[in-house]
């Protein structure tokens, strides 16, 4: 039984049966998405400054 399993798994796992990979196409960002990203970046910078001030006091 073991001798049958090796060729069978080799044949089933062959690249001939595999589907080709279709690379996803990136979509353009909308103005709304860019606005929210900029707002999140500013919030992150503000949080980092607040943490820096809190740690520097100690």
Tens digit of pLDDT for each residue in 2-17?
Answer: 677 777 777 666 666 5
What residue ranges do the domains of the chain occupy?
30-57
Size (the chain), residues = 58
Q: Is the pTM of this model over 0.75?
A: no
Mean pLDDT score, 19-48:
91
Q: Chain-wide mean pLDDT for the chain? A: 84
Distance, in Å, from the CA atom of 16 to the CA atom of 53, rounded to the nearest integer, reads: 60
pLDDT band at 1 (very low <50, low <70, confident <90, very high): low
Distance CA 49, CA 41 (A): 12
Q: What is the mean pLDDT of residues 35-41?
A: 96
């Amino acid at each position: 039984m073991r001798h049958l399993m090796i060729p069978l798994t080799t044949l089933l796992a062959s690249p001939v049966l595999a589907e080709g990979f279709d690379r996803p196409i990136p979509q353009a960002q909308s103005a709304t998405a860019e606005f929210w990203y900029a707002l999140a970046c500013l919030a992150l910078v503000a949080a980092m400054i607040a943490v820096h001030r809190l740690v520097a006091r100690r």
